[in-house]
Every structure is written in structure tokens, then in C-alpha cells.
């Protein structure tokens, strides 16, 4: 395992800055227990170092101790990541943060806002970024982690969030990313015609009909959808199967039952 961790870290350190890699990763139940497991955290560190910007979901962290532990680990080798996160979101005691980690040598935050409108279990926390490394110099990231039984309504409502974010930040380069819970268990074939994010012109889905979880059946829960302007800057988008990449086998489930989804900007 130590050899695998070392290899993964070495590959992460070879990160190429001629492009910008953006990822979204639902780290299942990422709280105090998981963040105290050094072996698990070493793998999470490798995954984080792969990206210029990574959105992490299911961050269960009331006092920011989990985020601090992660940042201390990520930056211990002289890496220079910064964070921006939402407040804990969700009903009752089951609250989660949207957490962005980003390389501040290549990426800057230009603004953020919490979208507070009824209809979302965990309303999007919208962040505007800029980078000198990309053809699209400024862009907006909109994270989402839907409630499974409300997935259709929440995904459709994201079209309104895109419009509101574009107007607020005067920018039409927009990416919506995260755990849409858009697998067939929650979004049926007949539902797609009622979801504006997938029917209206101007939106482009980059992750489709591939497994983004470790479920036995192919379930595309995690998605990336971009606007016209953002689509012009995307080189490729895919799923990062860290289980195969690091040879983890069943141990991968200790990290998460989801794989990261990612998009590369030129």
C-alpha cells in the first residue's frame, strides 16, 4: 500500500500546468472518522493533487477541523492549495459543505454567493474563478448534491441557478458539477424531457452513460454540464477511476463509493 501511495503521489507531482483540470468528487461521509484514517487520507491527498480545482461533496464538518486536516496534509509537501467552502447545508443535523480546493498559483477566486431558494436540499454555493492558464479566463462553478428522491426537480431548477449566476457575475462561462444523483435509480428515461439543463439549447452534458459509482450497474450519478461559452474551452471530460489507477480493489470503498468526474480546459 505504501508503494502504491508513493506512486500515486509521484504521478500527482507531475501535474502539468499547460491545461487546467477541474474535478468533482463525492467523498462519501467525509467527516471526523474518515479524516482520522491516515491510509484513506493519503489516497484522498493523491486525488486532490491531480487537480487545479476540485469540488468535494459530503463534507461533514461543523468546526472546520476536517478541512484543516485535509489542507495540512495536501500542503505538507510545499503545495499551495487554498480553499473556499459553503456553510453547512441541509435539513436537520445532516448537514454538508461544498468545498473547493484550488491551486492559487494558477487559479484565483473572484467572488462567491450562496444560492438560497426553496427547492434544493443543499442549495448551490456559486464561485467565480479566474486563471491565466486557460483560454476561458474567467468562469463560474456551480456545485450540486441533490437529494435522490428530489433529483429531477433539483436538476431542472439548476437552469435557474445558471441564469441567476450569469447575471450576478456578468459571465456566461458556467460549469455545473457534482453528484446529481442522475442515475436511472432516481432519474428515469421519461424524466429527461422535463429537465431544462438537458433539453434547452446552450447546455452541454459532458459525462453521460458511464459508471461514476462502484455500483454493479452503470449509474451516471455524477455529472458535468457546461454552457456554450464554457464548452468552447473544454478539451475532454471523463471519469477518474482511482480504484484501477491505484490498484486498490475493494479497499477503494473505504475512500468513497463514487469516482471523481473531471473536465480539462485548454
Provide Rg for the chain, Cα atoms: 17
Find how far residue 256's CA is from the centre of its chain.
13
Q: Is 258 helix (H, G, I), strand (E, B) or coil?
A: strand
Helices (H) and strands (E) counted in the chain, each on its own, are 8, 12
User: Alpha helices of 50-108 — where are they, by DSSP H?
Assistant: 65-74
Q: Is 145 a catalytic residue?
A: yes
Rounded to whole angstroms, the Cα distance separating 12 from 106 reads 16
Give one word for 64, left, alpha or beta, with left for phi > 0 and alpha for psi -120 to 50: left
Q: Which of 58, 79, 96, 262 is catalytic?
A: 96
Which position among 39, 79, 104, 145 bears the catalytic label? 145
Looking at the DSSP assignment, which residues form a beta bridge with residue 56?
Answer: 25, 99
- d(C-alpha 131, C-alpha 124), whole Å: 22
C-alpha cell at position 207: 459525462
Burial class (CB in 10 A: 0-12, 13-18, 19+), 112: middle
Note if 221 is an active site residue.
Answer: no
For residues 90 and 260, what is the distance between their CA atoms, to the nearest angstrom?
22
> Which grid coordinates belong to 110?
473572484
Supply 55's cell numbers: 469540488
CA distance readout (Å), 149 to 145, 172, 180, 209:
12, 30, 11, 20
List the beta bridge partners of residue 223.
178
Catalytically annotated residues: 96, 145
Amino acid at each position: 500500500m505504501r508503494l502504491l501511495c508513493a506512486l500515486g503521489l509521484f504521478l500527482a507531482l507531475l501535474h502539468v500546468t499547460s491545461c487546467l483540470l477541474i474535478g468533482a468528487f463525492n467523498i462519501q461521509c467525509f467527516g471526523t472518522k474518515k479524516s482520522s484514517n491516515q491510509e484513506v487520507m493519503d489516497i484522498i491527498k493523491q486525488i486532490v493533487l491531480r487537480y487545479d480545482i476540485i469540488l468535494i461533496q459530503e463534507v461533514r464538518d461543523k468546526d472546520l477541523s476536517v478541512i484543516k486536516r485535509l489542507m495540512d496534509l495536501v500542503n505538507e509537501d510545499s503545495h499551495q492549495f487554498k480553499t473556499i467552502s459553503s456553510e453547512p447545508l441541509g435539513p436537520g443535523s445532516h448537514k454538508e459543505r461544498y468545498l473547493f480546493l484550488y491551486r492559487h498559483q494558477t487559479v484565483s477566486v473572484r467572488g462567491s454567493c450562496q444560492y438560497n431558494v426553496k427547492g434544493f436540499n443543499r442549495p448551490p454555493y456559486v464561485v467565480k474563478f479566474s486563471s491565466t492558464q486557460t483560454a476561458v479566463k474567467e468562469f463560474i462553478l456551480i456545485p450540486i448534491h441533490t437529494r435522490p428522491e428530489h433529483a429531477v426537480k433539483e436538476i431542472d431548477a439548476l437552469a435557474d441557478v445558471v441564469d441567476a449566476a450569469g447575471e450576478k457575475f456578468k459571465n456566461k462561462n458556467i460549469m455545473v458539477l457534482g453528484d446529481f444523483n442522475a442515475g436511472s435509480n432516481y432519474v428515469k428515461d421519461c424524466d429527461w424531457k422535463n429537465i431544462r439543463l438537458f433539453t434547452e439549447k446552450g447546455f452541454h452534458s459532458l459525462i453521460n452513460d458511464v459508471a461514476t459509482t462502484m455500483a454493479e450497474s452503470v449509474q451516471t450519478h455524477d455529472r458535468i454540464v457546461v454552457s456554450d461559452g464554457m464548452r468552447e474551452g473544454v478539451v475532454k471530460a471523463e471519469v477518474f477511476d482511482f480504484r484501477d489507477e491505484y490498484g486498490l480493489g475493494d479497499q477503494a470503498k473505504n475512500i468513497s463509493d463514487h469516482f471523481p468526474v473531471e473536465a480539462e480546459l485548454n
